[in-house]
Amino acid sequence: MNQILVTEKLYVTPELRRKRKLFKLQFCLSIFLVCLLFSYYIYAEYDRDKSEEVSQEILMGISKEKTNSTVDTTIKKTDNIIVVALEDNEEDEEIVQPVLEQQETNQAQEFTTTSGVKYNVESIIKVPRLEINYPVISDTSEELLKISVNKYWGPGPNEVGNYCIVGHNYKSKKMFGRLSEIVKDDIIELEDMNGNVIKYSVYDKYTVDPKNTKCTSQLTNGKKEVTLITCTNYGTQRLVVKAREIK
């Protein structure tokens, strides 16, 4: 028996001890990295939820304005041109509750982020069956896409042409996270800041490469159309939904 124990002890060479220590170190490091990645994922989801809450607060503010007959409607002159930097390496800024500035009823309503970026909300997009309901911001940037869906290209809301809207595809099903569930003949509602609502019927849905922008064409033969765009297939493609005004 003692001979067996001695024999096993002899087989535990310095090289084997070194490999065992290295294995333990790698195992501990792997556990640490998994915990770190999981923590980052939880934080990212929390940050997205907080940013998305801003869009719902905007909707509530717009709704209150519609029902508040005592609101001061004095015209406040503002700069109609908003310049937004679209740098890929722009650091994420904390998004806070927007400050509403009352303007003419036929103008987009202006808000401001913590970083000082002013942006306008010019319409509200709804897909009733999918419970999609978001204000449409009139400009597009990474910072603004965290708040709500953005206008990408086209005329004013509910005007002749192709009104293109982009939004994030979140796993939480927020923003355009349920857009893949849309089917032909689903109804899309677009409301402008005057409260005018036009209903659109979905007539096509397809995927394209990110550089393919044919879906934004304004050749609509004099008709009013809405195009919804979001990421799909892990960001390698774009999901495009086309809808046309119901008459």
CATH number of 32-245: 2.40.260.10
Quick one: residue 120, left, alpha or beta (phi over 0 = left, psi -120 to 50 = alpha)?
Answer: beta
- Confidence band of 162 (pLDDT split at 50, 70, 90): very high
Q: How many C-beta atoms lie closer than 10 Å to residue 62's C-beta?
A: 17
Domain boundaries, the chain: 32-245
Strand partners, 153: 164
Q: Which phi and psi angles does 64 have, rounded to 5°?
A: -65, -35
Residue 135 has pLDDT above 60, yes or no: yes
Give the C-alpha separation, 220 to 197, whole Å: 20
Calculate mean pLDDT across residues 170-199. 96
Q: What is the pLDDT of residue 85?
A: 26
pLDDT for residue 101: 40
Contact 228, 216 (CB under 8 A): no
∠ at Cα 85 (79, 90), nearest 5°?
Answer: 140
- For residue 216, which amino acid is it? T
Three-class SS of residue 240?
Answer: strand
Please write down the HEC assignment for all residues of 187-216: EEEEEECCCCEEEEEEEEEEEECCCCCHHH
Is residue 221's pLDDT more than 60?
Answer: yes
Lowest mean pLDDT of 77-91, 99-113, 158-172, name the range.
Answer: 77-91
Instruction: State residue 54's pLDDT score.
Output: 74
pLDDT at 151: 97
